[in-house]
Amino acid sequence: MDGKRREVLKAGGGAGMLALAAAAGLARPGRAAAQEWNTAAFDTRSFADTVRALGGGGSTASAGIEINAPEIAENGAVVPVSVESKLAKTQTIAILIEKNPNTLSANFEIPAGTDPFVSTRVKMAETSNVYALVMADGKFFHAVKEIKVTIGGCGG
Amino acid sequence: MADPMRIRATMLGDKVEVKVLMSHEMETGLRKNAQGNLIPAHFIRNVTVVHNGRTVLSAQWGPAISKNPFMHFRFRGGKPGEKVSISWVDNKGDKRTDEATIAVEPSPAPGR
């Protein structure tokens, strides 16, 4: 991984961004969970931008997050992806697909009492890195896995 | 009105395992029809799962969730016979809520 870039991201966006995000957006889902939709986050076109839009200053790679998905997806329209986090106080699990038209696919809120695990099926336009982005105890962590796509799932 | 969800909620040890299959087009807004015109985006944006008045999972989705979405997760604190209620709202404001009763034993998967 590009360590330097990560440091810059952290330094640039760290605590201030987090506080801002907590004030602006992150504090809200608890209050009105069902109808919030983070338009800015779903408009992003890169991993780093999505992390920022979700309120993070950066994200650290973690071996405590496991992505379960096929190495090769024959049909990009239906790619099974499950994510399991072993990080304490996992609060959210997001699935990001780097080369889709928009990076963020889904963001799940995991309340206490619910396993930090979620499984779903996503569309992939082409072969891409797929990230599992986990917020645990207010900090962001991720794992990444490349999934090769034989037939893309977003075109006609 | 969209078709009902197919929900399976079963005890798995001390946890409730929930699997749900929703009926929805999940149009991205990027596809074209036979005439070459863009098909408007139409996708589920919010999903909420409630058990005994408590939200046990909520999600925000974009159009990259596959057509007829599938979701699987587990939570603690449920007992057989209790209800699990799942709701979704899409980008056009269409919504649907369905309920399932927590079963004791896992039963065969629905047609898959």
A138 secondary structure, DSSP code: T
Among B62, B67, B71, the residue with its CB nearest the CB of A104 is B62
Among B46, B54, B66, the residue with its CB nearest the CB of A122 is B66
Q: ipTM greater than 0.85, yes or no?
A: yes
Taking the C-alpha atoms of residue A151 and residue A127, their distance in angstroms, rounded to an integer, is: 9
Q: For the residues B12-34, what does the mean pLDDT come to?
A: 95
Full residue range of the structural domain in which residue A131 is found: 3-151
Full residue range of the structural domain in which residue B93 is found: 6-31+41-101
Check residue B95 and give its pLDDT.
96
Greatest CA separation found in chain A? 43
Cβ atoms of residues B57 and A114 within 8 Å: yes
Judge: B65–A104 Cβ closer than 8 Å, yes or no.
no
Size of interface A-B (CB pairs under 8 A): 116
B81: domain CATH number is 2.60.40.10
Judge: B28–A33 Cβ closer than 8 Å, yes or no.
no
pTM assigned to the model = 0.84
Within a domain: residue A109?
A: yes
Within a domain: residue B36?
A: no
Q: Which residues of B touch A122 (CB under 8 A)?
A: 64-66
Query: Residue A38 carries which side chain, given as an amino acid letter?
Result: N
Over pLDDT 90: what percentage of chain A?
72
- Kindly report, residue by residue over A69-104, the tens digit of the pLDDT: 999 999 999 999 999 999 999 999 999 999 999 999
Among A102, A106, A120, the residue with its CB nearest the CB of B60 is A106
Within a domain: residue A143?
A: yes
Q: For the residues A46-57, what does the mean pLDDT come to?
A: 97
Taking the C-alpha atoms of residue A78 and residue A123, their distance in angstroms, rounded to an integer, is: 6
Within a domain: residue A24?
A: yes
Contact residues for A92 (Cβ-Cβ < 8 A; gap 6+) = A54, A107, A108, A109, A110, A134, A135
A69: domain CATH number is 2.60.40.2470
Q: For the residues B53-68, what does the mean pLDDT come to?
A: 98
Within a domain: residue B24?
A: yes
Q: Is the pLDDT of residue B55 over 60?
A: yes
Q: For the residues A136-147, what does the mean pLDDT come to?
A: 98
Within a domain: residue A156?
A: no
Within a domain: residue B47?
A: yes
Taking the C-alpha atoms of residue B51 and residue B109, their distance in angstroms, rounded to an integer, is: 22
3-state SS of chain B? Answer: CCCCCEEEEEEECCEEEEEEECCCCCECCCCECCCCCECCCECEEEEEEEECCEEEEEEEECCCECCCCEEEEEEECCCCCCEEEEEEEECCCCEEEEEEECECCCCCCCCC
Within a domain: residue B106?
A: no
Q: Is the pLDDT of residue A153 over 60?
A: yes
In B, minimum Cα distance to A92 occurs at B59
pLDDT range class, residue A5, cuts 50, 70, 90: low
- Kindly report, residue by residue over A97-123, the tens digit of the pLDDT: 999 999 999 999 999 999 999 999 999
Nearest-CA distance B98 → chain A (Å) = 15
Among B28, B54, B69, the residue with its CB nearest the CB of A120 is B69
- Tokens 């920022």 correspond to A52
Q: Which residues of B touch A37 (CB under 8 A)?
A: 45-46, 60
Q: Is the pLDDT of residue B47 over 80?
A: yes
Taking the C-alpha atoms of residue A54 and residue A18, their distance in angstroms, rounded to an integer, is: 9
Within a domain: residue B94?
A: yes
Check residue A70 and give its pLDDT.
97
pLDDT range class, residue B108, cuts 50, 70, 90: low
Within a domain: residue B49?
A: yes
Total domains in the fold of chain B? 1
Q: For the residues B87-108, what does the mean pLDDT come to?
A: 90
How, if at all, do strands B15-21 and B6-12 pair?
antiparallel
Q: Which residues of B touch A38 (CB under 8 A)?
A: 60
